């Protein structure tokens, strides 16, 4: 703990600091709860996307052998743009999914097997889920970092700032109290001396 000045001004400063710390701590606690709730919400979204991926894989398994034909689906899918916006959670900015667009890749409808249309839809759906998934993971990373910082601040206030201010107030109050007591004692001694001198003067 830094050395404190044992003065009335310092006492006022420490009391003001204590009020500010105790007022700010509930705000940090609330932010912590909001961040934890948001992390759980995003995790649920990630798990939902993962489950949809699994369901889609189960759906296409019966005809996945068809993909073995000489058609390269990936060559028929080209991402044009992944557009993201900005959201705000507990005062921090996070990326949010906005739009995913694909370029129209031309292919011969007559020469290409019929399953390709459905195959392309599946590939695009899986790509979009992957993009949403990756953005959600970025959101989690940002929020988790903010959560760590918030927890550190809460600990700082609970374990250092508030106890430090309370101890400083206690120390200053004891010192000022002792000082005041000493002044009273000195005053009484001085008064006793004055009375004694007056009495001695009268006796003389």
Residue 183 placed within a domain: no
- 109: domain CATH number is 1.10.287.3240
26-78 per-position pLDDT tens digit: 999 999 999 999 999 999 999 999 999 888 878 776 665 655 555 566 667 78
Cα 74 to Cα 5, 52, 68, 71, 98, distances in angstroms: 72, 20, 13, 9, 23
What is the total count of domains within the chain?
1
CA atoms within 13 A on the CB side of 181: 6
| pLDDT band, residue 12 (cuts 50/70/90) | very high
| pLDDT band, residue 197 (cuts 50/70/90) | confident
Q: Residue 9's pLDDT is what?
A: 92
Nearest residue to 136 via CA among 99, 95, 98: 95
Number of helices and strands in the chain (H, E): 3, 2
Q: What share of residues in the chain are helix, strand, coil (percent, to 5)?
A: 75, 10, 15
121-166 per-position pLDDT tens digit: 888 888 899 999 999 999 999 999 999 999 999 999 999 999 999 9
The answer to whether the Cα torsion of 138, 147, 20, 26 is positive or negative is positive
pTM of the model: 0.76
Residue 41 placed within a domain: yes
Residue 112 placed within a domain: yes
Residue 188 placed within a domain: no
Domain of residue 120: give its range. Answer: 10-159
Residue 204 placed within a domain: no
Residue 185 placed within a domain: no
More confident residue, 203 or 80: 80
- For tokens 């489950």, name the residue: 51
Residue 191 placed within a domain: no
84-120 per-position pLDDT tens digit: 999 998 889 999 999 999 887 776 666 666 666 777 7
More confident residue, 21 or 186: 21
Residue 193 placed within a domain: no
Burial class (CB in 10 A: 0-12, 13-18, 19+), 38: buried
Q: Residue 62's pLDDT is what?
A: 67
């Amino acid at each position: 703990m830094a050395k404190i000045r044992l003065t009335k001004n310092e006492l006022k400063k420490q009391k003001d600091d204590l009020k500010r710390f105790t007022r700010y701590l509930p705000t940090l606690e609330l932010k912590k709860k909001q961040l934890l709730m948001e992390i759980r919400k995003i995790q649920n979204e990630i798990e939902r996307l993962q489950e949809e991926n699994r369901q889609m894989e189960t759906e296409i398994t019966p005809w996945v052998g068809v993909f073995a034909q000489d058609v390269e689906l990936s060559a028929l899918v080209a991402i044009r743009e992944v557009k993201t916006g900005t959201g705000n959670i507990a005062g921090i900015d996070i990326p949010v999914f906005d739009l995913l667009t694909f370029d129209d890749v031309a292919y011969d409808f007559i020469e290409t097997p019929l399953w390709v249309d459905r195959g392309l839809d599946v590939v695009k759906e899986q790509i979009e889920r992957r993009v949403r998934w990756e953005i959600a993971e970025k959101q989690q990373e940002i929020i988790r970092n903010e959560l760590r910082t918030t927890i550190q601040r809460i600990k700082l206030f609970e374990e250092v700032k508030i106890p430090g201010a309370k101890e400083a107030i206690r120390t200053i109050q004891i010192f000022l109290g002792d000082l005041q007591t000493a002044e009273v004692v000195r005053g009484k001694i001085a008064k006793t001396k004055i009375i004694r001198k007056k009495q001695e003067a009268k006796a003389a």
